[in-house]
Amino acid sequence: MYLHQRKDWYNFVYDKTIVLKALGALRLRQGVLMGKAGRMGFDVQNEKYLENLSLEIIKSSEIEGESLNLQQVRSSIARRLGLNTAGIIPSQRYIDGIVEMNLDATRNYSTPLTSERLFGWHNVLFPTGRSGFYKIEVGQYRTHDMEVVSGPMGMETVHYRAPAPERVPDEMERFIKWFNDDADTDLVLKAAIAHLWFVSIHPFDDGNGRIARAITDMLLAKSENSPLRFYSVSNEINLDRKGYYAILEDTETGEGDITAWLLWFFKHLDNAIAKSETVVDSAWNKSDLFAKTAQLSLNQRQKKIMGMLIDGFNGKLTTAKYAKINKCSQDTALNDINMLILYNILKKSEEGKGKNTNYVLA
């Protein structure tokens, strides 16, 4: 028996004690990240937003086995946000559609979800009316049975059978009403439930996973009251793609309790936030350092090295490495380094002496 075949299946059952404890820790980390992100300058925020939204779109498609061109995704986002990004290149219509869907979900997170809005998302995902070589039903709920299968032809393994097509309109009406009207469920918890609920219905001919993840991001944006995305859940899901499909299958074919799915989702969301926190710390430290040294007469070579040291320099900074990175003489490198020491930006590492002298941020 699948989850959707149980009576009142949408009244999801889970261990509230365990789930709310995990949710509390997750919410705390989320709040810390948003606080740190808020301290970054406007330009840095936009750059990190561009990076993470690009990553989210790329990885959400990779989960489905599709590879997108990163530069085209970045260019499409930058154009729509009006960002002055060097090297903007043309992007395919298909990529523009995926970007449009994700931007609508995250920037218009307070706008009610409707079937027409979902149909619009589906249309831009499949602008030619085809998924690969196959013609599909676009901009409407599916009108045929849906199975998730794997394996060679004639030896397929059925992992999931979605609700019959005649059930889909009513199931989606119930889902959309809950999505818009439910004000009692914590929004991060709601994002996890919405993801499971949507893929359980599997309302479209194709693209259900990508739309489910857009819905998830929409609720996460609402939980932070901000359209700016500083982490990518899809990246973490893609890193554990087998685990993702396994936990969904186990939940769909289990006893009706969704605790394991919620904890899996929280764990991977926590991982995404933790990684982003490290990046945001580095960006903020870089912004802070450059602000404090703005009045100093630093050249581009020195600024480049400062940025690299904050981001995590590979190995140890020596005069020879400085010269190689900046394509300058070792005398010039040593003069630059001595000036940075004089300004109390660099100092000699205690580990290296003589020929092994190396430098770290002071």
Dihedrals phi, psi of 140, to nearest 5 degrees: -160, 160
**Alpha-carbon distance values, 17 to 20, 24, 207 (Å):** 6, 11, 34
Instruction: Collapse the DSSP code of 251 into the 3-class scheme (helix H, G, I; strand E, B; otherwise coil) and give the result.
Output: helix
**pLDDT for residue 124:** 93
| Tokens read off for 329 | 């003489």
Second CATH level (architecture) for the domain 294-361 = Orthogonal Bundle (1.10)
Phi-psi region of 334 (alpha: psi -120 to 50; beta: other; left: phi over 0): alpha
**pLDDT for residue 340:** 93
**pLDDT for residue 277:** 87
Give me the tens of pLDDT residue by residue for the chain, a chain 362 residues long: 999 999 999 999 999 999 999 999 999 999 999 998 887 777 778 888 888 999 999 999 999 888 998 889 989 998 888 876 655 678 888 899 999 999 999 999 999 999 999 999 999 999 888 887 889 999 999 999 998 887 777 777 888 999 999 999 999 999 999 999 999 999 999 999 999 999 999 999 999 999 999 999 999 999 999 998 899 999 999 999 999 999 999 999 999 999 999 999 999 999 999 999 887 777 777 777 777 787 888 899 998 998 888 777 888 899 999 999 999 999 999 999 999 999 888 999 887 677 789 998 88
Query: Taking the mean position of all CA atoms in its chain, how far away is CA 235?
Result: 6
Domain-wise residue ranges, the chain: 3-284, 294-361
Residue in 289, 291, 292 with CA at minimum distance from that of residue 308 = 289
**pLDDT for residue 315:** 87
**pLDDT for residue 309:** 85
Radius of gyration of the chain (CA): 25
194: exposed, middle or buried (Cβ count in 10 Å: 0-12, 13-18, 19+): buried
Q: Which residues pair with 157 in a beta bridge?
A: 150
Residue in 44, 33, 38 with CA at minimum distance from that of residue 283 = 44
Looking at residue 286, its amino acid is: K
Domains 3-284 and 294-361 share a fold: no
Give Cβ neighbours of residue 5 (< 8 Å, ≥ 6 apart). none
**pLDDT for residue 352:** 67
**Long-range pairs of 203-208 with CB within 8 A, sequence gap ≥ 24:** 203/118, 203/141, 203/142, 203/168, 203/171, 203/172, 204/122, 204/137, 204/141, 204/142, 205/131, 205/136, 205/137, 205/138, 205/142, 205/144, 205/146, 206/126, 206/131, 206/136, 207/122, 207/125, 207/126, 207/131
**pLDDT for residue 211:** 97
Q: Which CATH class name applies to 3-284?
A: mainly alpha
CA atoms within 13 A on the CB side of 343: 21
3-state DSSP of 172-190:
HHHHHHHHHHCCCCCHHHH
**Bridging pattern class, strands 157-161 and 147-150:** antiparallel
**pLDDT for residue 86:** 53
| Tokens read off for 127 | 């602008």
